[in-house]
Amino acid sequence: MLALIARALLSGVLIVAIAEIGKRLPALGALVASLPLVSVLGMILLWQARPDAENMAVHAGATFWYVLPSLPMFLLMPVLLRNGLGFWASLLAGCVLTVVLYSLMMHFGPRLGLKV
């Protein structure tokens, strides 16, 4: 239970740190947010729980493929914001796009060899 609380606190600290950095230096905040910190921490915790090379290989490979559908959101949002759409509407549109692309990835991924 203590380990779970520690993980949750660490996750919270990362999110707050990114937000605080982003307030002062937006590009640096974006850089820190783009680092695969959550993925790396997740892989470390997964390895501690189940040190299985094949399981980790599947996890790392799937993480790569599932990152791809999230990337267009970060192109759509600036376009929408710069064209006058509000933040919440832009965020919602980006999230909807991401869900649609994730759904497509889950549908077509197995046909491309992705283990879902």
The domain locations on the chain are: 52-115
Distance in angstroms (rounded) separating the CA atoms of residues 62 and 102? 12
Cα(36)–Cα(60) distance, rounded to whole angstroms? Answer: 11
Q: What 8-state DSSP symbol labels residue 19?
A: H
* pLDDT per residue as tens digits for the range 8-37: 898 889 889 999 999 999 999 888 888 888
Give, for 103, the enclosing helix (H) or strand (E). helix 87-108
What is the percentage of the chain residues whose pLDDT exceeds 70? 99
Mean per-residue pLDDT of the chain: 91
| Cα–Cα distance, 54 to 15 (Å, whole number) | 30
Confidence of residue 81 (pLDDT cuts 50, 70, 90): very high
